[in-house]
Structures are given as structure tokens and as C-alpha cells.
Structure 1
């Protein structure tokens, strides 16, 4: 009999969003307590810095090039390996997912994918090994998922308070501004907090947990859509952090000239996006020019992000109280992480894209083992990643990791990480957007981040373009060492190590059927 598993994810949350990771604004006492009682990983990296590939890795325990979801809009095959299915079929675990799944594309007006048909069919699964799925994304407006369908039925006037993410009929991301400063994708949302998707996701998880028999083993994935843009939390909560009092990030350039000088040290798509000449992917509105963002607009965006992070932490406390009320507190493992980060003003930029720096790659990553496991609290600085989650769930359940998983259970101490030779972690990016392709391969090892730019429409793929950062001496990753003569031997070694540990790419490549 294994232990119970509470797996909590956020969407687009930075490493430094949490107090335990040095965050100084949002109050996150629940997750901070889990970190103090368990293992805090300081160098957990995403295997992709965009939603669908990262979530497919969490579900399969496979590298992006193996499961094949190489960009948003590529559906994870229906027969793809699933850790939820493995737990259910091999160990009798009850399984559920509440909130954002995103294993299948959101832009699906024909409802080709079951995630987008479930709610209107009145169904909650089973799907991908989950006995029950109740789904939400970033809005209560329209949509096909359970949350907007529920909101339309029970509180039809509330949906209009959400920011309209897409422009209709073009289905491109909206660049309109709002709030006090006119900041992009900001809206003051009059919805009651109890109706907002953060609380709704927690409510649905608690209801399911309360329905289980006392002796059940269970795997419950609670997947919050925030703090991903748009930034439109309940207006009743925004008093928590006045944007006027918000400090600007350390990596925010003070002037446009400072931003240009900083970005000229990086491959050309950085500065081209900042100045509005190029949009390389769907992850930001095509009309958005990052250089147009004012300091006050960034302050308002970041203040609302802090609010959203606090709301998540508070409902984590509610879910945990429900676990404890059932008498499961000593026998439940909690793992808390996110799918990827957010630029949030670093380098003068917002959102995400083909930018392999800590803002996007480095994840909050907490494992609070069950008390019954007898694991001592620890901080692990060795590199780990999302690819390690599925085998960790197997270990908690007392199962051997199946051969299709490409990693192993997370180490519970620095000594165990040393024994496992935890030396590197790999991140990939592939995208096609309006004729523009991008292909990045990145290794983190020995405090260094090395990114190879493979052949694309923007770059020749001849080894002349890339990025190399020394995170220990340049934690903000401002100085690109790629062409520095003193670093060429180290760069060559890192590139060889990267390609030695990349598995073969899936063939044939899966088809992208949507943008997101």
C-alpha cells in the first residue's frame, strides 16, 4: 500500500514568487511551510518553457522529443504513457485532475479533443488515466471547459468581468490594456472571490477528496490556471498589494537605452521582439511591443501577480485542511511546482517564448514527503526537473518506474543527489509561427546555462549563435559568454554533454493542429 499523493501545479509562476525562494512580496506561508518540512529544490528546470510540452513531460516522465509535444497546439497522443494510468492500473490508486490540463489544444472550435467536449457532454472522464477531470483555464468567458460552463449556468453575469483573452474572429491574443495604468491584459474583475477559478479548482478537489473512502490510495492533481496572464484576479483582493508601492525588478532596464544595450549582447530575436520588429511565437499578443511597457504598468502587472500567488497559497491551505480532516495528513506526500516561469519585466520583457534564462526555466519545486516516510527536511541544489516527477510518484506509490519513463525519482538529500550523479538538466524549445521557426537546446550544468541555436528561419545553425551564462557570477544572466575566448573550451564540453544526453527525436514528428 502506497502513500497518498497531492500534486499541486500553478501556471507560469516564477521561482522567486515564493517566500521560501526569496520572494519578498507575496505571502505564501502554506507552501513555505511545506518547504520547511520537506525538500526544496533550488535548481529545478522546466523541460520546455511553454505549457503543453511541459505538462506532457510531467504526465509521461519523458523528454519533449520523446513524447512528441514539441510546441503548444500539438496534442499529446491519446495512447501516450500516463503516470495517472499507471498508478490507477498497477496500484489501484483513485485518480483525478482539477483545473488546467492542457494536454490537448485550447483553440478547438470544432471540439475535436475530448478535453474540450467533456463539459458540454456533462462528462468528467475517465481520460488519460484520470477517473475524474473537471477543467478550467484562464477565463470564465465562453469556452468549453467545466469552469466557464458552470459559471454560465450558476452566475451568468460573472463571466463578463474577465479579460477577453482572444480577439474574435481572428483568435489572436488581445493586446488591449486596462486597470489603473492601461497595462496589457490587465482588467479589474468584479467577480466574487468565491467564484474565481482559483477557489473553484480547490472546491472541486475538496469535494472529490471528501467522496473517497477512508482507506483509498489516491493521486490528486490540483492545477491552478494562475498566475498566467491575463492579470484579472477578483477586484475585492487587489488592495493586498498597491501597485504604486511595487518595487521594480532587479533585471528591469531603467531606460530604453539600457534595454537595448543589454539585449544587443543576446541573439537578435531578443532585441527584435523588444522593439516590435518580430514576434516569434503565439505566447504574446502579436500587436504587443515590449518597449512600450511603462514602469507603472509593470508595477501594476506584478502587484496583481502577487495577489494571484497569495490566493493560490490560501486555497492550498484549504485543500490541505481537507486532507487533514480526513485523517490523511501523516500519510500524504505533497509536491508543488509550476509548468514554467514568466519574464515579468526581466530584460524589459513580459510573457514567455524562446528565451532560456532563469525567468522562464527555473521552477519553484517543493516535495513535502508524508510524515510516515521519515524523510528529513533538506535543500537540494543539484539540477532536477519535471521529467523526475512521474518516477517520483511511482516511488511514493511503491512501484518501480516503468521503462518508458526517462528519469528517476527525485533525490531527498544532497548526498542522495550526489550518489545519483545529478549533474545536468535539459530544456528544449521548438516552434513555428507565421513562417518563423525556432529550435533551442539548453543544458544546465555546474552553474552554467548553455543554449545551442539549431538551424531555423532566423539562425544558420552553424554554431555561430548561442548563449552561455555563468549563473554563479552573473545570476541575472546579463553577460553572454558565447563568443568569449576564455570560455570556448567549457562551451565545447557543455555542448558535447548536451547532445550525449538528448534522446532521439520522435519520428515522424507530431502535427501542430492549433496555436495553443
Structure 2
């Protein structure tokens, strides 16, 4: 076996890249995230392949761009034939377990066509993104006039009920709601309630509950018997923005960094950006009173995530598992938090599309990079390739479009590394697409970033957005229609076009297999282009010469 026996792959939902003390946040304290960074490498330029949950996660799990796997938004099924990291690792003798959220929607029509049922081992894996299921909890259990958001019961809700929390939805009534002065429910959906402590004991809230499930797994026979990847996927600090005490009171308005935005951004904005900026979420987060309530709650949720991560590190250290377990910490996307007059995610400013990424490699070969940072352009699809190499395998480049980060962990610089990072966003399901009058086939955005210039290309005839991050690191000066930048826009557009022409769907046969086939048709008796015997070697002449076995004309 390779020196890495196990991989703990930790993902937080909607965690910004800059809300860690090791990343330079002036008031946020994350001692345990920092603790991992001191043991590993923190990648400072890590970008997701889409700034929305479902599409981003499908790229993480497949190692493929959104345009390749096709699950371009939340609820879009992942095609039944797409291989995931679980499929790749299982071939190498490593199990792959899910604990938490995937936001994956199975291709039920494709499964039915192939006769796959969810009660079979293979069918269950296909329906769960290639993972074996320890516990799946996608973390959103609201209920409206048309019923629950998810049809399947929530394990976390059932857990709260088992502890005696009343009602059919303690996820909402307790874990994501406080109590008003008159004793009524103060829902976390109303952002004015963000700093009210959630009506649940802290140890019963979502993040500790999932940490407990992970500790159960680490102590299980399954974890002891075979090498494993455990994908521990938290819902927080994703909305609803409300935290239990003591985290609800840990931060206040004095800890809130001023919003990164200018009035100039609202003057004749790029139309798609303008539509998102002026939706209900953007308008809400443009108000200072909203940020002063929500951002401290968001920070409190991050602090709880950090404390629970510390529990995991303590356990791995006390059991000796730090010596053979790779640990990865990242997020599926960020959160605008009022920056650029936006809320949520969706577009390609750094606070949305750039994510934290810390990797700890326990091997001696990674000793020289401990506690360092790496500024290379990294994409989320690189993790599948990294895990395959960590498990002792060879990355199938005709399937996995990402590249292993192992050289950086060893302190090496690859001879050739990517010159751009790409991200995609399909906003065809959004209200904004309807308001802009954009057909579903045109409601797609692309980001291309070369380390200095970041361009957003919008289909549908809209102008691009362009930022010079060297001279404008806060991405406040959109030069998408600046004549002085025409050459830069043309260069990036050509590079994006070249990327779009890549071979991405030939996943059933590798380049090595194709090369091995070259010129082999003659050895199988196919002699195209031959005029007479002089065009063939004696060996090849044998099958087509000799006495006839009779004349049947």
C-alpha cells in the first residue's frame, strides 16, 4: 500500500476563502483551520468550476468541467455514466464514504434504462455520486405551502425528534430559529433574527451532529478494515444564517469588515450582473443593517465549524491516524455577503468563485512544504486527480480533466501547469434569465482567469466583464467595454474558445490505447491502399495468397 492509507475530504458549504485567520481576515479567528494550514499547504488561488452548489460539487466528484459532466445547476441529474472519485478509488482498493451533503440528483431515467435499482450496491453508488452511504444529509429541510423542500426524510430532523424536540420540523423550529420576546418562533429565514441564538443545545446543532457521525465512522470496523476516503460534507456556514450560543454572540458589528463595493458598480452595470445585483437577495445585502446582523452570525457559524474541525484533528492525533491520513479542507463556493452589492454566490468575483483549499500530506516527502502557501492556479477538479495519485493510481487523463496537486505538496513545480482557470454558470433556471429575456440555451456564463486578468463572458449578446486584478485586486473597476482593453479581451476570448474545443467526451478509450491501435489494421487483415504484392511484407501476404479452394463461379 502507498504511505497514504486514508483521505479525509472535508467540505464546507458557502465558506469564503478569506474568512480564516490564516488567510488574513482581521477579526475572524479559526485556530484549527490554521492548525491544518501549519501542517500542510494552503493554496491561495483555488477556483471552483461553478459558483453554485450542485454544479460545483459534481465537478469536485468527477474531476471534470461542468460542460463535460452536464449537471450544470442544482437539481440537474448527473449522467448515469459519469465516473466519480469513488469509482476511481475503488479500483485502487480504497473505499469511498459519504457523510453529509452532496446536492447530487440521480439520473433516475438513465438508471431505469439500465435496470439499476437503488437497493442494489451498484445502483446505490450510482444514485449517491459513487459514494457508499454512511449518512446523507443535504441540510435544507424547509417546508412551504407545497410541502417539504426534499421529499426524503432528514436524518438530522429524525435525530432532533429522538432527543425530544417537538414538531415535524425541528430543523426549522429549533436548529434554524430563535425565540422572540413573546415566545414565538424567530425564523432564521428572516435575517433580522440572525443574531438570536438558535433554539437548540449547541451539541445538538447541525455541525456537531455531523462531526459525531464522522467520529462514529472513524471508530467503526469499516474504517479499520480497509483504506478509505471519507467525504465529510457540512451544510454550514450556509444559510439560514443563525447560530447556537455561544457562537451567536461571539462576533458583533464591530467585527464586520466593510463591504467591498463602490457606487460606480451600480452605474450602467453589465446586464447580467445588474440583474443579480438588483434581485431580492442583492437588494437585501446592499443594506448595512442586514450585513450588521448576518455577517456576525456567518462568522459564528464558521467559528463553530472550526471548533468541530478541531475535534477531528484531536481524534486523528490521539489515534495515530494523522500519520497515514491525507486531510483536505475546502468549500463548494463562497458568499458575497454584500460585496459588489450582491448576496449569495452565482457570479465570478473572488468572494464567490474562489475557495479555501488546504491539503495535509502525512508523508515525509511533503515535509519541506509544511506551513507554506502555493499561488498556482488550482481548480476544484484537481482533487479527484490528487486523490487517485495519493491512492497509488495513475490518473486517467481521458476521463479526469483535473491535474494532481502532488508536485506542489512535495515542493516541486510542474514543467507545464495551467495558464488559466475556468468556471461556468448556467443561470437558465433563475428569475434573472426571465427578466433579461434570455433563452435557456443562452443563459450561460463563463469565467476565464489568467492570474491577472479575469473575464466573464456571457452568451446572449451581452458585453463581457473584465478586471485587472493586478491593479484592481478588489475587482471594482469593470473594463469590459474599455477600448484600451480590446486586445486583452480578444486574447482571453480566443483562449476560452480553445478550451471549449478540447476533447472532453472521449472517456471510454485513453490516448495510449488510441496510439497503440495506430497501424494495426494490416495485422488484422485490412489492406486498404494496396495495389500489388510489392506493397506488402511476406508475412502480410500469407493470408491473401495461395491456391484457391475451388472455383465456384
Q: What is the TM-score with the length of structure 1 in the denominator? A: 0.81
TM-aligned CA distance change 1:265 to 1:419, over 3 Å: farther
Partner Cα separation in structure 2 for residue 404 and residue 72 of structure 1: 23
Provide, for residues 321-346 of structure 1, a one-character-per-residue CA deviation record: whole Å limited to 9, x for no partner. 22223321111111111001110110
Correspondence for 2:207 = 198
CA gap of 1:414–1:449, structure 2 versus 1, over 3 A, is: farther
Cα deviation, residue 217, structure 1: 1.3
Matches for 1:70-109 after TM superposition, within 5 Å: 70-88=72-90, 90-104=91-105
8 Å contact from structure 2 (residues 282, 341) kept in 1: no
- Cα distance per residue 1:345-404 (max 9 Å; x no partner): 102221122x21111111111111114443422321121111101000001101111231
Tell me what 1:349 maps to. 342
Match of 1:152 in 2: 161
**1:294 Cα deviation (Å)?**
2.8
- Corresponding residue number in structure 1 for 2:386: 392
Residue 452 of structure 2: aligned partner: 447
After superposition, the CA RMSD in angstroms is 2.8
Matches within 5 A, 1:178-327: 178=191, 182=192, 188-212=197-221, 214=224, 216-243=226-253, 245-253=254-262, 258=263, 261-264=264-267, 266-275=269-278, 279=279, 287-288=280-281, 290=283, 293-327=286-320
CA distance in 1 between partners of 2:126 and 2:490 (Å) = 49
DSSP-derived class of the 2:59 partner: helix
Q: CA deviation at 1:318?
A: 1.1
Residue pair 2:379, 2:402 contacting (<8 A) in 1 also: no
Stretches of structure 2 that go unaligned for 5 or more consecutive residues are: 107-117, 143-147, 178-186, 506-553
1:207 Cα deviation from its structure 2 partner? 0.4
Report the counterpart of residue 169 of structure 1 in structure 2: none
Deviation at 1:209, TM superposition (A): 1.0
Confirm or deny: 8 A CA contact 2:242 2:298 kept in the other structure.
Answer: no
Corresponding position: 1:69 with 2:71: yes
CA contact (8 A) 2:61 2:129 kept: no
Partners of 1:442 and 1:481 lie apart in 2 by: 15
Instruction: Note if 1:496 corresponds to 2:498.
Output: no
Distance, in Å, in 1 between the alignment partners of 2:409 and 2:213 is: 34
Match in the other structure for 2:37:
35
Q: Where do 1:155-170 residues align within 5 Å?
A: 155-157=164-166, 158-159=170-171, 160-163=173-176
Query: Structure 1 residues 124 and 499, CA, compared in 2 at 3 Å: closer, same or farther?
Result: closer
Tell me, yes or no, if the aligned pair for 2:367 and 2:410 is still in contact at 8 Å: no
Q: Does 1:46 align with 2:59?
A: no
Q: Distance in 2 between matches of 1:304 and 1:208?
A: 30
Deviates more, 1:127-136 or 1:439-448: 127-136
Q: Is there any run of 5+ residues in structure 1 with no aligned partner, and where?
A: 106-116, 165-173, 280-286, 508-516
**Normalising by the residue count of structure 2, what TM-score does the alignment of the two structures yield?**
0.76
Count of aligned positions: 453
Q: Give the corresponding residue for 2:190.
A: 177
- Take 2:13 and 2:266, find their aligned partners in 1: how far apart are those partners? 26
1:184-222 CA deviation, whole Å, 9 max, x = no partner?
x77641111111111111110110111135463110111
CA displacement, residues 448-499 of structure 1 (integer Å, 9 cap, x when unaligned): 10111112xxxx25xxx00110111111111111222221112111111112
Change (3 A) 1:66 1:503: farther
Runs of 4+ in 1 over 4 A off after TM superposition: 123-126, 139-143, 503-507
The CA deviation at 1:12 is: 0.8
Q: Per-residue displacement from partner, 1:289-333 (whole Å, max 9, x unpaired)?
A: 615753132022111111111111111111122222332111111
**Cα distance in structure 1, aligned partners of 2:285 and 2:305:** 30
Q: Quickly say closer, same or farther: Cα 1:505–1:480, change in 2 above 3 A.
A: farther
Matched, 1:412 2:408: yes
User: Separation in 1 of the partners of 2:67 and 2:391?
Assistant: 27
C-alpha distance after superposition, 1:90-130 (max 9, x if no partner): 1221321111111128xxxxxxxxxxx99xxxx99994332
Distance 2:304 2:188 in 1: 25
SS at match of 1:226: coil
The aligned residue for residue 469 of structure 2 is 471
3-state SS of the aligned residue for 2:219?
helix
In structure 2, relative to structure 1, the CA distance for the partners of 1:425 and 1:333 (3 Å cut) is: same
